[in-house]
Amino acid sequence: MFQSRLCTRTSRESPKDEVAMNAQLLERAGFVQKAMAGVYSYLPLGRKVLDAVENIVREEMVAVNGQEIFLPALHPKEHWLATGRWDGFDALFKITSRHDFEYALGPTHEEMLVPTMKKYIQSYKDLPFSVFQIQTKFRDEARAKSGLLRGREFRMKDMYSFHASSESLDEYYERVTYAYKNVFRRLGLTAYLTEASGGTFSKYSHEFQVPIETGEDTIFYCSGCDYAVNSEISEQGICTKCGGKGMETKASEVGNIFKLNTKYSDPFDLTFTDESGEKHRVIMGCYGIGTSRLVGTIVEAHHDSDGIKWPEAVAPYAVHLLALSGGEIRTKADALYSELRARGISVLFDEREDVSIGEKLKDSDLIGLPHRIIVSEKSLVNGGYEYKKRAESTSVVLPQQELLNLFGQHS
């Protein structure tokens, strides 16, 4: 992609109405733009990151046999009345149609999914299975000041599993836990599996918490093992699992998993017939991952004072290629751009002619692609290119073939 053609531009100044670092950097670099408190537009660079995050999540859900679906955002009022959440869910957006209908604007999808699946579940032979979707959710949040960490409109992957027994749910819950660990590892995040209160669902649930300074939650994690607990259920000076020292940190909840049991199959009378012909309520689990929150969390976890440092797996482009002026340098840069693309490497090519060297370097730090290659006068003299990883502070000069070999390993 030619940077001159990108429909956004960077900004040196932080938006005045943003306090969260993730929003400041993402807006300055042109990844997103705030439409209102808690509502963001994803511009080309931001959409690529969101897509990359969602594709990793999708792959891991498919790996645990999740079947992808896509449910409406408009929900019938009757389903929310059935669970008592029409009045009981504070952040529910309600819509009145001019044709005298009332809708809920989906903040979560149990009320939509369970009546939908009822049509297809009859026998124990239809169980277990799980379905998931990646979708926009809407919540009328009181405060929305954390950039992409808490939105009124946000993106989420929600998966729901259906079982004939608690044992089947337990087994699947373990498999999803493992899949979630894969997701966060692939995204370059350290996520603690954290015991938390189950809210209205059950006594306990599990959250996946990523330690960041600006997180909305506080967790105690063990310095000796991988156990963590949300401060909402206990403080932990000494780990109850291994006796290790408990450490306190702010954290961002990027995923959660719940054993719903029959909480939603009860109000919708979702049943199956067992081998002896007896009817039982279906046992359910639910599994959320906030994909837009993940984008914000990745930025909170991977940045410095100059800008973002994207992990390879979610970077909008792998390489930032900078041509430091026109003429022969541009010709050489064009050739390198072609070589890299021919190898399937995604490149943002800063070929802008009216922008100074200093500005290009600042933009490159701000946008934060993993690899930077500079084509300068030095390249013409000694045939080498200045190469630097965004996450490292030093650069090296490499001849073209050595540089290409380097990327051969990444693509």
If the CB atoms of residues 131 and 210 are measured against a second copy, the closer one turns out to be: 131
- Least separation in angstroms between residue 54's CB and a second copy is 11
Backbone phi and psi for residue 343, each to the nearest 5 degrees, phi listed first? -90, 10
Q: Round to whole Å and give the CA distance between 5 and 1.
A: 8
CA 116 distance to own-chain centroid: 27
If the CB atoms of residues 142 and 381 are measured against a second copy, the closer one turns out to be: 142
Q: Does 40 bind a second copy (CB under 8 A)?
A: yes
Q: Does 69 bind a second copy (CB under 8 A)?
A: yes
Q: Does 65 bind a second copy (CB under 8 A)?
A: yes
Q: Does 408 bind a second copy (CB under 8 A)?
A: no
DSSP assignment string, 227-293 = -EEETTT---SB-TTT-PBEEEEEEEEEEEEEEEETTTTTTTT-EEE-TTS-EEEPEEEEEEEEHHH
Element (H, E) at 371: strand 371-375
Can you tell me which residue has the tokens 């692609």? 369
Tell which positions 99-158 bind a second copy, by CB under 8 A.
99, 101, 103, 105, 112, 116-117, 119-120, 125-126, 129, 131, 136, 138, 140, 142, 152-153
Q: Does 74 bind a second copy (CB under 8 A)?
A: yes
- Least separation in angstroms between residue 42's CB and a second copy is 4
Q: Does 277 bind a second copy (CB under 8 A)?
A: no
User: Which residues neighbour 294 within 8 Å (Cβ) at sequence distance 6 or greater?
Assistant: 53, 187, 189, 254
Of the residues 17, 19, 35, 327, which one makes contact with a second copy according to CB under 8 A: 35
Q: Round to whole Å and give the CA distance between 222 and 234.
A: 13
Compute the chain's Rg from CA coordinates: 24
Q: Does 67 bind a second copy (CB under 8 A)?
A: yes
Q: Does 71 bind a second copy (CB under 8 A)?
A: yes
Amino acid sitting at position 231: S
Residues that bind a second copy (CB under 8 A): 4-9, 30, 33, 35-36, 39-44, 46-47, 50, 65, 67-76, 90, 93-95, 97-99, 101, 103, 105, 112, 116-117, 119-120, 125-126, 129, 131, 136, 138, 140, 142, 152-153, 354
